[in-house]
Structure 1
């Protein structure tokens, strides 16, 4: 099968959208880190904040690597298109394979980062569920009357 110029060009939109998603994740993590840093300065003895900061540092490293491999894939895609334009099809095939492998690595790292963030959110939910269980016993909260509605 011969690689055509349109094949690596198809990756452009996919890689661009992927990089946008990675950048959004980076900005969300940066916002969380700034918020936790502020909380840490207010009460540095809270252990959960330190644990969350370690988790966020790991996620930040993963996002950096996701972006790195995504950009590398994008660059290889551009080089592949140039090589195809110049008529070097055999070399272009290998560069395209490198671009696809780089994209695959980026997506794999993304999967790991998603697993870590999901685990962190589940820990946060577990803390809130524990507080909620202490406040209400069993199904009492379903049958409890809303006093605000009764007052109107």
Structure 2
């Protein structure tokens, strides 16, 4: 039988995950501002490739955050359901919370791949100098 402590175990993990996602977003926003300042009116081909990469990563981070928050809400709903002794509803909410968390993590994995591609673009720029 599932108790209220089971979904409560996810709270710190989801909170830290959302914090990490927010940090990734803030770093990305800073990179975009630096790129804008560096390029000015003349945007090089390399910068255009970076812009597309950055745009895609922003969309992915927003999606990661969305699924993470939904997971957090479902986890909270699960705890509330279990508190009211609605065991089946609590179990279903917890299961849905885990699925949303899994989606968030899979999107995060894909965003990391794209981030590595962005670093390769920078390395390519260094090699061409």
Q: TM-score range by the shorter chain?
A: over 0.9
Q: Structure 2 length as normaliser, TM-score?
A: 0.95
Cα separation, 2, equivalents of 1:56 and 1:111: 16
Task: For CA contacts below 8 A with separation 6 or more, give which structure has more relative contact order.
Answer: 2
SS in 1 for 2:3: coil
Q: Identify which of 88, 91, 111 aligns with 1:90.
A: 88
How many residues are paired up?
Answer: 129
Q: Output the CA distance in 1 between the equivalents of 2:128 and 2:33.
A: 27
Give the match for residue 12 of structure 1. Answer: 11
For residues 3-46 of structure 1, the C-alpha deviation after alignment (integer angstroms, 9 at most, x for no partner) is 111110000000000001000000000001111122332423x1
Separation in structure 2 between the aligned mates of residue 114 and residue 3 of structure 1, nearest angstrom: 34
Q: CA deviation at 1:92?
A: 0.8
User: Cα deviations across residues 46-97 of structure 1 (Å, max 9, x unaligned)?
Assistant: 1111111111000000000000000000000000000000000011111101
Structure 2: any 5+ residue segments left out of the alignment? none
1:87 counterpart SS class:
coil
**Runs in 1 of length 4+ with deviation above 4 angstroms?**
none
Aligned residues of 2:46 and 2:121 also touching (Cα < 8 A)? no
When the two chains are superposed, the root-mean-square deviation of aligned CA atoms in Å is: 1.1
Residue 46 of structure 2, aligned match among 45, 48, 68: 48
